[in-house]
Amino acid sequence: MGDTGNYAVIDPATGKLDRRIFSDQAIYDEEMEKIFGRAWLMIGHESLVPGTDDFFHTYMGEDPVILTRDGGGRLHALLNMCRHRGNRVVRCDDGNAKRFMCTYHGWTYRNDGALEYVPGEAQAYYDALDKPSLGLIEARVETYAGIVFATWAEDAPSLEAYLGDARWYLDTVFNRRDGGMQALGPMKWLEPVNWKTLVDNCSDNYHVPTSHLSSARVQTRFLGRPPLSHEDQFASPNRHAFVNGHSLTFRDADDGVPRFVHGMSKETMQLFQEYHEATMPEVEQRLGTLRARRVQLANHSIFPNGILGLRLALPRGPLKTEFWHFVLVERDAPDELKRAIRIGSQANNGAAGMFEQDDVDNWRQVSLASTSRLGRRHPQDLSMGLGHAGPHPDYPGLVSERYISENNQRLFYRRWEEFMNAESWAQIPLDPITAHLDGTTTLRG
Ligand code: FES
Ligand SMILES: [Fe+2]
C-alpha cells in the first residue's frame, strides 16, 4: 500500500489484497471524503416520501440528511445541520412538515432548504444577515426506478452515467412493473464489521453451500426449496458481471418459473406462479424478451455500499456498520404475495434472518483479522478465476466465465483505489454505455 493518495491495495496479477483497508482509521477517514463524499449514494426510496411535504431522515456516509419532497413535489437531500451553530433541525425518523425549526435559537427552514425565518432578524442582526446564503446544505438528487440517490460532488456525472450498463441487470428486479415498487421498513441494527466486507460478500456465491448449509437445510426441509451443493454451484450457468464499480450476479432464469424472491415455499408457490404468468406480458414489454424471460439479477452491490436490493449499509467507523434493511415489493402485486415476500425476506435477511446471521459472523471475523498485528502482514487471497473474465456477446460489463469467481471482488477493490487515488471526478474512469436497453423502461421507471 502506498502513501495517502497513492493506494495500491489489490495486486491484479495475483489477487492479493492488503488487509489494512478494513480497520485503519486514517484510511476510513479518507474513504469518507473520497468515496462517500463524492459517489452517488443510495439514500432512500420515493415511496418513503409519497406526498408533498413528506420527509424521511437518512444518511450519506456518516452525515445526517433529510430527504424531503417540497410543496411542488421536488425531492431534496438536505444536510441536517442548522447553519447557525450546527444543531440538527430534524430529530425524528420521518413525518410531514412544510418547515423545520431549529430548537436551539429558532432559525426556521423551508422543506426545500431555504432559510425562511430568523428570530430577531431586524433587532439582533440589524437586517444584515445574508439569509439566501444560509439555507441547509443541499446535495444533488436523482432517482432510478424510484430509488433515491444523492451526491455531494458537483462534478459527479449523471446518475444515468454512474449506473451505466449496470441498469441492464438492475432493471430485471427494480423496473419490472408499470406501477413501480414500494419500500417497506427499514429494520435497523449495528454490526461490528467494516462496510467493505459485506459489499465484497454480495458477489461471493462460493460461501453459500458452506456458510449457509444449516440454513439451506432448514429451507429444504420446511419450505421445499432445492438443496444446495458445491457441485450445483460449480456447474451453474449463472454469471457475475462488473460495471463501473457495481458488482452484479445474475441468474440464467427459466422462462416458465417465477423469479426467485424470498417468501417462496410449497404453500406460496402457486401464488408466485400465477403472478409470474399474469405479469410476464407487461414485463416483456418493459424489458424486452431476453431480459424479461432469461435474466434475473441476484446478489449485487451498487458502488460503494448499496446492497441486497434496498439496504443502506451506513459506515459508522472502520469496524462498525449500521444496516437499514428495507423490503421492496412491486406496488401492484396482490397483498398476499407482498406479505409472503416480507415475511420471507425477514426470515432470511435482517437482524434475525437465518442467512444474515451466518453472513455477519463471517464479516465480523474478516474485519477483525485486519486488526491482528501479525495477520495484517499477510494479504487476503482473491485469486479465484484470474484471467477468466471478459466481454460477452449477450451480457454487458466484464463477465466472469463461471458463477463462482472472485473477479468482481478484485474489480471492486480496484474501483476503490480509483476513487481513493483521484483528486476529482475527472480522474475517475467511467465505462461507456453500450448495452441495448430493450423495452419501454426508462431511468425514472
Ligand atoms: S443552532 Fe440553530 S438556531 Fe442556533
Ligand atoms: Fe451469505
What is the Å distance from ligand 1's center to 4 Cα? Answer: 36
Q: 102, 103, 109, 115: which to mutate for ligand 1, most atoms within 8 A of CB?
A: 102
Q: All 3 cell numbers of residue 400?
A: 466472469
Closest CA to 79 of 103, 63, 95, 68: 63
* Ligand 1 atom with minimal separation from the 107 CA: 3
- Pairing verdict, β 380-381 and 147-151: unpaired
Distance separating alpha carbons of residues 58 and 305, to the nearest angstrom: 14
pLDDT confidence of residue 260: 82
Distance separating alpha carbons of residues 244 and 428, to the nearest angstrom: 10
The answer to whether 53 touches 37, Cβ cutoff 8 Å, is no
Distance separating alpha carbons of residues 147 and 152, to the nearest angstrom: 17
Cell numbers 425477514 correspond to 346
Give residue ranges with CB within 6 A of ligand 1.
82, 84-85, 87, 102, 104-107
Q: All 3 cell numbers of residue 162?
A: 454512474
Helix (H, G, I), strand (E, B) or coil at 173: helix
The answer to whether 370 touches 21, Cβ cutoff 8 Å, is yes
What is the Å distance from ligand 2's center to 304 Cα? Answer: 19
Indicate the angle between helix axes 354-369 and 335-348, nearest 10 degrees. 40
Low-confidence ranges of the chain (pLDDT < 50): 2
Q: 81, 101, 105, 117: which to mutate for ligand 1, most atoms within 8 A of CB?
A: 105
Ligand nearest to the CA of 349: 2
351, exposed or middle or buried, with CB in 10 Å at 0-12, 13-18, 19+? middle
* Ligand 1 atom with minimal separation from the 86 CA: 1
What is the Å distance from ligand 1's center to 74 Cα? Answer: 26
Ligand nearest to the CA of 205: 2
Q: All 3 cell numbers of residue 359?
A: 453472513
Closest CA to 344 of 363, 329, 322, 361: 329
pTM > 0.95: yes or no: yes
CA distances from 53 to 71, 74, 96, 106, 137 (A): 6, 10, 5, 20, 18
Ligand nearest to the CA of 108: 1
Ligand nearest to the CA of 82: 1
Fill in the amino acid letter for 122. A
The answer to whether 119 touches 128, Cβ cutoff 8 Å, is no
Q: How many CB atoms lie within 10 A of CB 84?
A: 16
What is the Å distance from ligand 2's center to 215 Cα? Answer: 10
Q: All 3 cell numbers of residue 404?
A: 463462482
Cell numbers 454487458 correspond to 396
Distance separating alpha carbons of residues 322 and 307, to the nearest angstrom: 13
Ligand nearest to the CA of 104: 1
CA distances from 138 to 66, 122, 227, 228 (A): 10, 27, 49, 47
Closest CA to 170 of 248, 66, 227, 92: 248
The answer to whether 414 touches 186, Cβ cutoff 8 Å, is no
Q: 79, 83, 87, 121: which to mutate for ligand 1, most atoms within 8 A of CB?
A: 87
Distance separating alpha carbons of residues 429 and 415, to the nearest angstrom: 9
How far is residue 434 CA from its own chain's centroid?
23
What is the Å distance from ligand 1's center to 42 Cα? Answer: 29
What is the Å distance from ligand 1's center to 199 Cα? Answer: 38
What is the Å distance from ligand 2's center to 118 Cα? Answer: 51
- Report which protein residue has its CA nearest ligand 1's atom 1: 85
Alpha-helix runs per DSSP H in 70-125: none
Beta bridge partner(s), residue 324: 188, 312
What is the Å distance from ligand 2's center to 212 Cα? Answer: 7
**Torsional sign, CA 137, 143, 146, 149:** negative
Distance separating alpha carbons of residues 69 and 399, to the nearest angstrom: 39
Q: What is the pLDDT of residues 72-124, one digit of tens each?
A: 999 999 999 999 999 999 999 999 999 999 999 999 999 999 999 999 999 99
Distance separating alpha carbons of residues 405 and 240, to the nearest angstrom: 8
Which residues sit with Cβ closer than 5 angstroms to ligand 2, an ion? 359
